[in-house]
Amino acid sequence: MNSMNNVIILEHPLVQHKISLMRDINTGAKEFRELVSETAMLMCYEATRDLPLKTVEVQTPVAIARTKVISGRKLAFVPVLRAGLGMVEGAVKLVPAAKIGHIGIFRDPETKNAVDYYCKLPFDIAERDVIVTDVMLATGGTMVRTIDILRKSGVKNIKVMCIIACPEGIEAVHKSYPEVEIYCGAVDEGLDEKLYIVPGMGDAGDRIFGTK
C-alpha cells in the first residue's frame, strides 16, 4: 500500500494483476465484470481497515474467548451509476450487513456540468459511514457532485473507492473535500480530449455491461 495526501494506492499483487487484465482490450464483458467485482472486494478489505472493534466474550467448544467484533457506526456503499454498480457485489461480500444507496449522474453535453438524475439512499444514511464506488475517477465532477449529495444528506465520514484514478480527478475531489480518502489501484497519466483516462481501460460501464 502506498499513501500520500489521502490517496491510498493498493499495490497488492492481486489488485495489480487484475487491473492489468481489465486494461486489456481483449478481456470480454464476463471476465471484466468478474475482475471489477473481485478487485472491489480486495479494495474493500483495505478501506475497512479502520472499522472500530469492541471486545466480546464467546463460548468456544473449549473455553470462553475474549474476542473482537466490529462495533460502532454502520456502513453503506453508494455506487455511482452505471459503472460503480459493478463494484458493489464484491464489496458486500465482505460487509453483508451494509446498506446500499444509488446515485445516478450524467455530464450535461453542453455545460459539461455533472447533473444528478437519480438518488435513492438508505433512510438512515446520516448515521452511516459511506464508501462511494466508481470504477474510474476521471474529471472528478461526478464524484464531487456525489459527495455534495451525501454531505447534504448528513453523512460525515465518506471514502471513495475507484479502480483507476488520474491526477485531475484526485485534485478535483480534494479541492472540495480534502478530508475524503481515495482508495484506488492505480493513478494513471491523465485525461485525453474525450475525457477518457489514459491509458485507463476504456469506458468501464460499457465494458461491464457489454453495451459496446
80 contacts 130 by C-beta, under 8 angstroms: no
111 is known as an active-site residue: yes
- At 93, list the grid cell: 461480500
Element (H, E) at 63: none
206 is known as an active-site residue: yes
The catalytic position among 23, 107, 116, 151 is 107
> What residues contact 52, with CB distance under 8 A and at least 6 apart?
70, 71, 72, 73
151 is known as an active-site residue: no
Q: Which is nearer to ligand URA, 98 or 136 (CB)?
A: 136
107 is known as an active-site residue: yes
- CA dist., res. 197 & res. 203, Å (int): 9
Residue 211: CB minimum distance to ligand URA, A = 11
Q: Which is nearer to ligand URA, 122 or 200 (CB)?
A: 200
Q: Which is nearer to ligand URA, 132 or 155 (CB)?
A: 132
- CA dist., res. 62 & res. 114, Å (int): 58
> What residues contact 70, with CB distance under 8 A and at least 6 apart?
51, 52, 53
Residue 23: CB minimum distance to ligand URA, A = 11
Residue 89: CB minimum distance to ligand URA, A = 18
**Residues found near ligand URA in the complex (CB under 6 A):** 83, 136, 138, 196-197, 200, 203-205
Q: Which is nearer to ligand URA, 78 or 83 (CB)?
A: 83
Residues acting as catalytic residues: 107, 111, 203, 206
